[in-house]
C-alpha cells in the first residue's frame, strides 16, 4: 500500500469513524454522508498497489484506482467510504493498522465502524441498527441507552469487523453499528439512516439532515417497483 500526507490537521482527541464499502453499500453511504455534511477536509490518503479486479472495457482492460482518504473536521476523523475494500488479507490488515496508527497519533479515544447486517426479518421501512462493542463495560453503557445489541453470535468479516479487533488489541474503545438489510446488492439508504441516528445518540453529535437519505431510499424503492 502507498500512503501520502496532504496536510497535518490541528485536531486532538477526535472521534474516529472508519468504514468501507460492504453489503448494501452501507459503510460507504454513511461515511460519504458524514464527509459531505460536516465538510471534512482530506489530510492523508491510502492507495492499493494490488488491484483486486480489472475492468474489461470491451477488448482491453483498465486497472481501477483503489484509493481511500482520511478526512477531518472539528472533533472527528473520518476514514474510508469510496468503492470497495482490499480483498488481499495483508492489505486489509495494513489498513486496519494504519487507522490505529492515526488514532494513536491524534490521541483518539474511540473508534466507530458501521456496516450492513443481513437478516431475513421483514422490517418494512424501519430497519434496526444492532451494536457490538469491544468490552463488556462498553456493552453495559450501550444497553443503558436503550440501543439494541447484536442478537446472536456471528463472525464479522472485512474491514468493518476487523477494525474492532485492532481497536481492542490496542486498548482503544470501539463500537460497531450494523443496520438491518434484506437485499445486499441494492444501496440501503434506510439502513444507513438508522445507523446515523444511533451514531448521533452515542456521540451526542448532530451529523446532518437525514431526510436526504429517506428521499434516496424512496427513489430506490420506486425504481424497483416500476421495474416489476
- Is residue 3 in some structural domain? no
- Is residue 4 in some structural domain? no
Strand partners, 112: 17, 175
Cβ pair 32, 81 in contact under 8 A: yes
* 171-194 per-position pLDDT tens digit: 999 999 999 999 998 999 999 999
Distance between CA atoms of residues 147 and 105, nearest Å: 31
**Residue that wins the pLDDT comparison between 88 and 217:** 217
Q: Model-level pTM?
A: 0.92
Q: What are the φ and ψ backbone dihedral angles of 64, each rounded to 5 degrees?
A: -70, 150
Confidence of residue 50 (pLDDT cuts 50, 70, 90): confident
Nearest to 178 by CA among 198, 162, 158: 198
Q: Given the DSSP bridges, would you call strands 76-81 and 67-73 parallel, antiparallel or unpaired?
A: antiparallel
- Is residue 118 in some structural domain? yes
* 97-121 per-position pLDDT tens digit: 999 999 999 999 899 999 999 998 8
* Residue range(s) defining the domain that contains residue 91: 10-227
| % of the chain exceeding 90 in pLDDT | 75
- Is residue 2 in some structural domain? no
- Is residue 27 in some structural domain? yes
Q: Grid coordinates standing for 115?
A: 456496516
- Is residue 147 in some structural domain? yes
Confidence of residue 53 (pLDDT cuts 50, 70, 90): confident
- Is residue 190 in some structural domain? yes
**Residue that wins the pLDDT comparison between 4 and 85:** 4
Total count of domains within the chain: 1
**Residue 211 is part of a domain; what is its CATH number?**
3.40.50.10900
Confidence of residue 226 (pLDDT cuts 50, 70, 90): low
Examine the pLDDT at 64 and tell me if it is beyond 90. no
Amino acid at each position: 500500500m502507498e500512503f501520502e500526507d496532504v496536510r497535518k490537521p490541528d485536531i486532538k482527541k477526535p472521534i474516529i469513524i472508519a468504514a468501507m464499502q460492504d453489503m448494501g453499500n452501507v459503510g460507504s453511504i454513511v461515511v460519504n454522508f458524514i464527509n459531505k455534511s460536516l465538510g471534512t477536509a482530506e489530510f492523508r490518503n491510502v492507495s492499493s498497489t494490488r488491484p483486486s479486479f480489472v475492468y474489461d472495457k470491451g477488448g482491453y482492460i483498465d486497472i481501477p484506482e483503489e484509493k481511500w482518504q482520511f478526512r477531518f473536521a472539528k472533533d472527528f476523523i473520518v476514514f474510508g467510504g469510496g468503492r470497495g475494500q482490499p480483498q488481499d488479507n495483508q492489505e486489509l490488515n495494513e489498513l486496519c493498522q494504519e487507522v490505529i496508527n492515526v488514532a494513536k497519533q491524534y490521541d483518539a479515544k474511540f473508534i466507530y465502524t458501521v456496516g450492513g447486517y443481513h437478516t431475513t426479518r421483514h422490517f418494512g421501512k424501519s430497519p434496526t441498527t444492532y451494536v457490538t462493542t469491544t468490552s463488556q463495560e462498553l456493552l453495559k453503557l450501550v444497553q443503558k441507552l436503550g440501543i439494541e445489541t447484536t442478537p446472536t453470535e456471528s463472525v464479522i468479516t472485512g474491514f468493518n469487523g476487523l477494525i474492532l479487533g485492532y481497536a481492542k488489541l490496542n486498548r482503544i474503545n470501539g463500537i460497531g453499528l450494523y443496520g438491518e438489510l434484506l437485499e445486499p446488492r441494492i444501496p440501503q439508504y434506510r439502513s444507513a439512516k438508522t445507523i446515523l441516528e444511533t451514531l448521533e445518540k452515542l456521540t451526542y453529535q448532530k451529523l446532518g439532515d437525514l431526510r436526504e437519505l429517506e428521499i434516496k431510499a424512496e427513489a430506490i424503492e420506486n425504481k424497483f417497483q416500476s421495474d416489476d
